[in-house]
Amino acid sequence: MSIIKSLSVGNGDMFYIKHGSDNFSIIDCCLDETTKVRIVNEIIAESKGKGISRFISTHPDEDHIRGLTYLDSYINIVNFYCVKNEATKKDASTDFKKCCEFRDSDKAFYLEKDCSRKWMNKEGDGRGSSGIDILWPITSNDAFKEALQIAKDGGSPNNISPIIKYSLNGGVTALWMGDLETEFLISIEPDLDLPKVDILFAPHHGRDSAKIPEEYLQVLDPKIVIIGEAPSQHLNYYKNYNTITQNSAGDITLDCAKGEIDIYVSNKGYSVNFLDNENKTAFNYYLGTLNL
C-alpha cells in the first residue's frame, strides 16, 4: 500500500508519496505564509519512521520551489533529485539560490531516462525500492539540449522537466510531467516510450499551453487526469477523459492498494460520477474508488 497526495497550494505544484516500502518522496515545493506550517507539519508526521527521504525538483520555477528554504530548515533535505542543469534567474529568489545550492552539491542525484539508484528503483540492504522510474530526459536529444540552454540563459526552465513514473506492484501507475509544454512534447515524440497509466497529473497545472497531445493520450490511456490549479481561464479540461480538478477538489489523497485506489478530497462538496462507492473511511471526504 502507498499514499499519493496532491496538495492544494494555489498556482503551483507540491506532492508527496508515502511508499509502502521504507521510502518517502516529495515532488516539488510551493509554500506560502498561509500554508507552510500546516503542510510541513503534515510532511514531518507522514514521513516519520521512513529511512529514506528524497526531494524531487522537476524544474526551478518559483511555483515549484517556493518555500524550499523553509522546508529544508525543518526536514533537512539530504537527497535532492533534479535534471542536471545550469539554470539562472536575473532576480534570483532565496529559494532559487537554495535550489541551485542543492543542485550543485554532493546531495544531488541527476535524473535522466532509465537512471537507477538505491532505493529509488533498486532494492538492497534489506530495503525495498520506491517504485519511481524516470522516462525522460534523454540528455543527447537536441530539443532537450536547447531547453537546457534557454534555462541557462535565464529563460523558462519548463522544458527541462523530467517525466516521472511511480508504480505500485499490482496497483497504481502514476505519471508526472512537470511543466513540459505542448510544442516541446510534440518535438520529442519520436524518442518517448510511454506506458499506460492510471493517474496522469496534467503538466503545467493543467494549462492549455501544456495540453498533452492526443496521440500521447491514446498511448497513456489514463483512467483519471488530475488537473492542477492554474487560473480557470487557462485550463484545458481534457474532455473525453475522467478528470479531478484541484481548483474545486482541494487536497487530493490517493490511498493505493493492489487492484484499487481509494480517492479522498478536502472539499466536502466536490463529487464525480465515474468512481465506485465502497464507503471507505480512511480519510475525510471520500470521493470514491477506482478499481483497476
pLDDT in the model for residue 200: 98
68-75 and 36-47 helices, crossing angle to 10°: 40
Which cell is 247 given? Answer: 481548483
**What string of DSSP letters covers 100-137?**
HHHHTSTTEEE--TT---BTTTB-BTTB----EEEEE-
Give, for all 292 residues of the chain, the pLDDT tens digit.
999 999 999 989 999 999 999 999 999 999 999 999 999 999 999 999 999 999 999 999 999 999 999 999 999 999 999 999 999 999 999 999 999 999 999 999 999 999 999 999 999 888 999 999 999 999 999 999 999 999 999 999 999 999 999 999 999 999 999 999 999 999 999 999 999 999 999 999 989 989 999 999 999 999 999 999 988 888 889 999 999 999 999 999 999 999 999 999 999 999 999 999 999 999 999 999 999 9
**Which domain CATH number covers 189?**
3.60.15.10
Q: Tell me how far CA of residue 182 lies from CA of 36, 81, 88, 131, 178, in angstroms.
A: 31, 24, 23, 27, 12
CB within 8 Å of 273: residues ≥ 6 apart: none
Q: How far apart are CA 120 and CA 188, in angstroms?
A: 25
User: What does the pLDDT look like over 243-279, one tens digit per residue?
Assistant: 999 999 999 999 999 999 999 999 999 999 999 999 9
* CB burial of residue 33 (10 Å; 0-12, 13-18, 19+): exposed
Give the range of the structural domain holding residue 206, as residue numbers without chain letter: 2-291
Please calculate the CA angle 90-93-96 and round it to the nearest 5 degrees: 90
Q: How many domains does the chain have?
A: 1
Question: pLDDT for 56-91, tens place per residue?
Answer: 999 999 999 999 999 999 999 999 999 999 999 999
Between strands 52-56 and 80-82, the pairing is parallel
State the Cα torsion 148-167-12-6 to the nearest 10°: -170
Provide the pLDDT for residue 126: 85
Distance CA 184, CA 191 (A): 12
Q: Is 82 helix (H, G, I), strand (E, B) or coil?
A: strand
Q: Which of 119, 112, 107 is nearest to 85 (CA)?
A: 112
pLDDT at 74: 98
Q: Flag whether the pTM goes above 0.85.
A: yes
**In contact, 90 and 111? CB cutoff 8 Å:** no
Contact by Cβ (8 Å): 237, 245? yes
What is the reported pLDDT for 61?
Answer: 97
